Each structure stands twice: as structure tokens, then as C-alpha cells.
Amino acid sequence: MQTANLLIVLLILSAVAYYMARGRSVAQAQPLGGIRHLHSLPFFYGMRAAIWCALPSLLLLAAWLLFDEPIISSLLIGGLPENLQPNSAAEHNLLLNSIENIASGALSAETSAPALVAAAESLRDLRSSGTNLVTAAVLSLSVLGMGWGWVKVSPILRARQQVERVFRGILLSCACVAIFTTLGILLSVLFESFRFFQAVPATEFLIGTEWSPQMAIRSDQVGSSGSFGAIPLFVGTLLISFIAMVVAVPVGLMSAIYLAEYASPRLRGIAKPTLEVLAGIPTVVYGFFAALTVAPFIRQTGEGFGLQVSSESALAAGLVMGVMIIPFISSLADDVINAVPQSLRDGSLGLGATRSETIKKVIFPAALPGIVGGVLLAVSRAIGETMIVVMAAGLAAKLTANPLDTVTTVTVQIVTLLVGDQEFDSPKTLAAFALGLMLFVVTLVLNFVALRVVKKYREQYD
Amino acid sequence: MTNLNKSRAEQIQSSLAKRYRAEKRFQMYGYAAIAFGLLCVVILFTDIVSKGYKAFGQTYIQLEVTYDASTLGITDVNDSQQLALADFHGIVKKALKSRFTDVSGRKAKRDLYGLISNGAGYTLRDRLVANPELLNQTETLWLVADDDIDTYYKSIGSDAGAFTGRMSEQRQGWVDQLVESNDVEMRVNRNFFTQGDSREPELAGIRGAAMGSLFTLIITLALSFPIGVAAAVYLEEFAPCNRWTDLIEVNINNLAAVPSIIFGLLGLAIFINFFHVPRSVPVVGGLVLTLMTLPTIIISSRAAIKAVPPSIREAAIGVGASPMQVVLHHVLPLAMPGMLTGAIIGMAQALGETAPLLMIGMVAFIVDVPGGFTDPATVLPVQIFLWADSPERAFVEKTSAAIMVLLAFLILMNTLAVILRKRLERRWL
């Protein structure tokens, strides 16, 4: 039976289990004098039976869906004659693919090796018998659970506690998705990076100054050994992030100060949501804007001054990224400035300071840790930003600090290395994961420090 | 040292003007910063709209077409196999040749045939299939013009002068002739809303990408909302104060700030390489976006649960409700508006996300409109990315128009969230 149908059947079965167990509990309560003599409400008896009916069989089904392919393919390969046994992982996959194609009729059976045809037939058999087996197991397990739920109903059964324990367990497992996600990220980037560092020494990756990941397929081709020195990428990333910060920090900070300290409620009511529109615009839109409007504009202006400007200048990407980050900084700074106690302001103004002196000498120093935390978060966002740089920054890894030149960034390289066909045993593809690891670690550290700083600062005034 | 001669009051007095000037200047900086931010919003929107609004129109050319059986190479109109092979572009060529009789030479002819889009043949086939009696008849039809003609016609009369691009003078002359005889018309571009992607700008539409986005978002919502709410309920109502809970909280806060492209790497390594989920399908896109939006939804759901006053819980416990009943019957219904708002904002974020989807192969060139969760698909932002990379000039306006559609959806979702918050928000005293 197909999985979707099986799920529907399970749903119906557990509904039946619910009503049967519920009815039995009510019937048992009847001679005692009503349901108040039961330990739990009839609903909980019904739910308990439904859980017994559905949960174990669902777990079994999930396990099967996760592991059916590896089990079947290892059975298949094991059944092949000695001379066809694969030597490497690539060969293994190739073999499985051709068996799969023969089984589905894409490859004609007549032109293929008889052993493979036999394997294709056994694949079809294994698939159908496997599905039948699992369907039978799942259904019998759920019927068993249903019976167990029904049999155990009695006025002293603590059904509510059991149901609530399961409920809490489900909630806990949902909360743990966050941990599994982090774990998944770590495992995936660590595992592939480890394979990358087996091929390319970590020192070359971290301090090398030449990046040209194109690996030739044949070893006698030109440039067959790519070089993986990531310094130009780090410099490019930092250059663009720096430009973005030069735009975003003063503008974001000053607009936050103005909105918090000077603006009339009316201006604040209009300007704040309008600025926040900038935060809601998808990054691909900024990328399009940077590549098709800002970059040509900068190029023309620069040429008007007689400057050599690349059409994919770091300046265009950085400027637009800065605009994107303005609302991020301004809303964080706004929160921090509003958290400074009013008494500090009143004290300073009472001594005769002007408002700008109060802001510069009292409020700003008091809010500084929070602002620093906000800027660090913004830096981590700028480093990890992808679409703007993919569309507006270049691909050439140049080691330069000239904002009018073209640079490339870590995220651009991850995208270029991984879009399209991939070969998971070439350092070229694995390099993307090593870059991803760097990105993850750097942003993680930045976020961790920033959150610590902000939290500490909040405690100061609470 | 001259200051020593003056009294304190005089010193302050003399510095006042300077201090007031500094105050004015500081205010001006703030004003300038806000003005800069607002200006950016205005420039961005005007740039996109001014580039894109023309894409909602499409140039059509009127031609007299003869469904000549011998040119088509068919004998029986009802034979679908013959119709599939029939040379419909041939009768378009013939119609063009009879309209402009003085054209000779291979290159000139090729230029001439290029006036009409390659897609016109399909229009003619559909018409002939619907009306078989048209065979060997002649009728006057409006046909979709090629993208170069479209761009040229749209730019006639603009300030910068007509954009000629790849248009030879001869072609411009033909178009001018057609314009003079009122055989060129601007119509609403239906293809843009009803078709999938195409290499021909005049035939390309966003329907495929929009459906892909819809399927992906359905998966994302169906997974991230229940999981996010459950996690928020656990953390707010049940979690004991221990290391494990701290670990969960730290993880959620960090995941909220992890760059989105990292989620793409996760999707590629875990879902595609390890679990062998097929590439390019809405299911895997939805899974990746679920993990990415979960922190947003958990954080906003926790805020909504926190806003429910403890007195509600105490009253429920007081009349004998169990912990599960307190949550399901009282806390969740009261927190639902806040949670829904958070979910909509999370979905808006997911709708605009591009980078992680590039990693899991949703950048493929897909012509067919996807019909389900396991059909290869692309999504709106990725479509924008693909079109922005295309060399044809006509794709610039298509890209801007697609951006306008995407922004319209985002504005709609955010407005919905704001209205929902205003309508259903309850202030507790």
C-alpha cells in the first residue's frame, strides 16, 4: 500500500480505537454510577487507545521510510556475482542506477548484462515484498495497539497522566528540533570539510592567497590542480561588509537617535514603518537593484572623474547591502536608547546641557554596549548575506582593498561551487563546505558575543 | 588664558551660540539620516516600478493568415499526430511575406520572420484544433510580437529616444509601416500570468514560479507552524529550569542569526545526499525553509504565550483543569492571534528567501507549471534571480515586473499580519 493511503488507514483505525475505548470506559462507569467514578475523563481513555494505536506503528513506518533504500540496495549488491562487485562508491552508485533503470524500463533488458537484469527483477520483487511486509507489520501493530488500549480500560487506569506524558514528550521533541538542526548543520559542514582538509591542507586554505577552485577532470589538463587559498575571499567579504557598515552604522544610528529623542509622534509613526519596509524587501530584489541600477551609476560617475571602475565593483554591492542593514541597526539601537532610564536624561538636562550634549555625553555612553552588540549582529548579517553579492559582486578572487575593483566573497563562492552539477569527491565541491564551516563559525562567534553583550547591558538597567 | 578674566556666567554666555549651533547641526544629521533612509525606499520602488510596469503590456501585430493545408503539410485536420508535426510557423512566414512583398535575400527574410514570436505557431494550432473548418481559410489575427519588436515599440516616443538594440534599420522600417497602418497594438500581457518560464521573453510567465512558491510555502507552513507552536508551548509552560532547556534556548537564538545559505548546505548534505529526497522539488525546499523559519515562529509564539496573564492559568487550575487542559483550552486560544501574526511574518520571510534554495537545485530552468509537491519547480525569488541573469534586454522589464508581483504578495501578507494584530489583540488590565 502507498504511504499516503496507509496514513489514511491509520487515521481511521485510531479514530475507531478512540471511540471504542471511550465507549468502554463509559460503559464500565455506568454500573458504578456515572463517569465521575472513573479516574480520568472518557476522552483520556479514548486518546490513550488512539495513541497506542497510532504512535508505535507511525514510528515503525518512519523508520522504514528512512532506511528502506540502503537496506534494499545492500541486499541487491550482495546478491550480485563476484565479478560485478563494485570497488568504489562511484561504481556502486553507477551500478545501482543502471539496475534502477533496467527495472523501470528506461534501459532495455536485452542489451544489459543478465546478472543486472536478474538484479533488476529482484529489485522489483524486493520493493513490492518490502512494501507489503511493512504494510502488514504497520497494520497489525496498530490493531494490536488498539486492542491493548481497549483491554486496559478500567476505572482505576490513570489514563490522563499517561496521555499527558505523551503530550509533553511530543512537545519536547518539537523543541528539540532546534538542537537537531544545529547538530545537522555542524555534522554536514564538519564531515564534508574534514574530507576537504584531507585533500587540501588546512594551512593552505587559511593562509593561501590564491583561489582558483576549477579542477580539471583529466589530470593532464591545464590548471589541473586548483588552488584553495581563501584569504582573497575573506578580504573581499570584509571589504564589502566594511562598506556596508560605513553606510549602515551612521545612518541607522542617527535615525534611531532622531526618532527616539527628537521626532514628533507623527513623524515617528510614518518614518519608522517606512524604514522597516527596507528590512522586509527580499535580498534578491536588492541584488537586482545593485546590479542593474547602482553599479552602472557608480561606473558612470567614476568614469566622469576619470577613475577606473569595475562594472562589478565592491562599492555597489557594499552600498546596497548597507541600505539593507539600515533598519536592522536602527531598530536595535532604538530599543537600546529607549531602555536608558529617563532619570539620566532629566539629570543631564537639569544641569543645563543641550539635548545633543545629553545624547552625546550621557545617553550614548550608557547605551554603548547595546549598540556595539547590535552592530556585531549587523556585521554577522553582512558577512552571511548572499544574494546581493551573488548578483552584484564578481567571481574573480582578487586580493585588493580598492572598493572600485571587483572582489568576491565567501558566500558567492559557496553558491558558484554548489549550483549545477556536483561531484562529491572533488575538493572543488567540498571547498564550499569548508567555506560554509568558516562562515558558520564566524557568525556563531559574533552572534554569541553580541547576545552576551546585549544581555549583560539589559541586566544593568533592569 | 584670557578666559580667566571673565566670570563663569560670561564664559557660559559666550559659548552658548556655539553650543546651540552644535545642537542644530546634530539635529540636522539625524534629519538627514532619516531622509536618506526614506529616499532609499522611494528610489528603490520607483526604479523597480518604472522598469517593470511596461511588462504588463505586450505588443501584438495584426496579420492576415491563411491556414494553407499544403504549407502546413497536413491532409486531415482531425489527426492529432499530423497537427503536432504541422509547420504552423510556415504559415506565419507566408503571411509576413505577403505583407512585405519587397523583401529579398536570406538575412532580410530571417529578419522579417523574426518580427513574430516563435510562440505564434502554438496560438494558430490551438485555433485550428478548436475550429477545424478554418483549414484553407484566411483570417485576420493579432499575433504576439518578438521581444526585440516589443522593446522597440514600447520605447518609441520615450525621452531617451527609441531603443534600437538588435533592430536593423530595415526592421524598424517594417515596424513603422505596421504602426502607420494601425496593425500594431499594445495589449494586456496574459502570458505573463498564465505561462511558465521560457527562453523567449515574450512568452515567459511567472505562473510556474508562483505555483512553486505556493507549494513550497504550504509545506513550510504545515511543518513549521505546528512544530514552532509546540516548541514554544513546551518552553513557556512545561520546560523545567535545567541545562537541557538552556541548550534549547541558546540553539534557537543562534539559529535565528545563522546565515540562510548555511541552511542550504544543511539541506544539500542531509536531505539530498543522505536521505535521497529528490532535488528541485517543493518538498525539499519546504523542509529547508521550515528549519529556517522555525526560530522566527518559536520566538514570536513564545512572546504571544508570555502575554497571556498568569491569572488565566491560575483560574483554570483552580477549577480543576490538568496542565494539558490549561494549555489547550485556555492559553492557546488566547495566544493564537499573536502566533498567527508571527507565522505570517515567518511565511513572508520564507517567500522572499533565495539563497538556500539555490543550493538544493531549485534553480533549474523549468517550463512546465508544477502540479504538485513532488514536481520539479522553482520559486518566485529564484525566477527573479534567473531572469536577472538573462542577457535579453526584454528580461529586465520581466524581472522588474516579477519583483513587483513578489513585493505585492509580501505587502499583502504583512498588511494581513498588521490587521490581524490590531483586530484580535487584547489588552489585559
Domain spans in chain A, listed from the N-terminal domain onward: 3-172, 227-461
Contact at CB, B266 and A284, closer than 8 angstroms: no
d(CA B368, CA B376): 9
Cell numbers linked to A156: 482505576
ipTM of the complex: 0.90
Contact at CB, A360 and B26, closer than 8 angstroms: yes
Residue in chain A lying closest to B407 (CA): A281
Chain B hits for A293, Cβ within 8 Å: 47
Query: Shortest CB distance from A280 goes to which of B234, B348, B389?
Result: B348
State the helix-helix crossing angle for A177-199 and B282-306, rounded to 10 degrees.
130
Q: Is the dihedral of CA B409, B414, B416, B417 positive or negative?
A: positive
Cell numbers linked to B167: 533592430
Q: At CA B358, angle to CA B356 and CA B364, rounded to 5? A: 145
Q: Which residues are within 8 A (CB) of A56 and not within 5 positions of it... i.e. 6 or more apart?
A: A141, A142, A145
Is residue B47 within 8 A of residue A289, CB to CB? The reply is yes
Q: How far is B284 from chain A (nearest CA, A)?
A: 15
Contact at CB, A181 and B354, closer than 8 angstroms: no
Instruction: Write down the pLDDT at residue B3.
Output: 53
Residue in chain B lying closest to A417 (CA): B359
Cell numbers linked to B7: 566670570
Contact at CB, B355 and A386, closer than 8 angstroms: yes
Query: Shortest CB distance from B388 goes to which of A192, A391, A440?
Result: A391
State the helix-helix crossing angle for A42-79 and A159-175, rounded to 10 degrees.
50
Contact at CB, B269 and A433, closer than 8 angstroms: yes
Nearest to A251 by CA among B30, B20, B283: B30
Task: State which fold the A227-461 domain adopts.
Answer: MetI-like fold (1.10.3720)
Residue in chain A lying closest to B350 (CA): A282
Residues (pLDDT < 50) of chain B are 1
Contact at CB, B270 and A188, closer than 8 angstroms: yes
Instruction: Write down the pLDDT at residue B298.
Output: 95
Cβ contacts below 8 Å, chain A against chain B, sum to 252
Contact at CB, B354 and A291, closer than 8 angstroms: no
Instruction: Write down the pLDDT at residue A221.
Output: 55
Contact at CB, B255 and A170, closer than 8 angstroms: no
Instruction: Write down the pLDDT at residue B159.
Output: 67
Nearest to B363 by CA among B390, B397, B345, B396: B390
Contact at CB, A354 and B20, closer than 8 angstroms: yes
Place of cell 537564538: B253
d(CA A205, CA A452): 31
Chain A hits for B263, Cβ within 8 Å: 185
Query: Shortest CB distance from B33 goes to which of A251, A278, A383?
Result: A251
Contact at CB, B34 and A291, closer than 8 angstroms: no
Q: How far is A274 from chain B (nearest CA, A)?
A: 7
Q: How far is A220 from chain B (nearest CA, A)?
A: 30
Residue in chain A lying closest to B238 (CA): A168
Instruction: Write down the pLDDT at residue A215.
Output: 60
Is residue B80 within 8 A of residue A326, CB to CB? The reply is no
Query: From first to last of its 462 residues, what are the pLDDT tens digits of chain A?
Result: 678 888 999 999 999 999 999 999 999 988 888 888 888 889 999 999 999 999 999 999 988 887 777 777 777 777 777 777 777 777 777 777 777 778 777 777 677 777 778 888 888 888 888 888 889 999 999 999 999 888 888 888 899 999 999 999 999 999 999 899 999 999 989 988 998 898 888 888 888 888 887 765 555 555 556 788 889 999 999 999 999 999 999 999 999 999 998 989 999 889 988 888 898 899 999 999 999 999 999 999 999 988 888 888 899 999 999 999 999 999 989 988 888 889 999 999 999 899 999 999 999 998 888 899 999 999 999 999 999 999 998 888 888 888 888 899 999 999 988 886 666 667 888 889 999 999 999 999 998 888 888 777 766 665
Chain A hits for B19, Cβ within 8 Å: 354, 357
Contact at CB, B251 and A164, closer than 8 angstroms: no
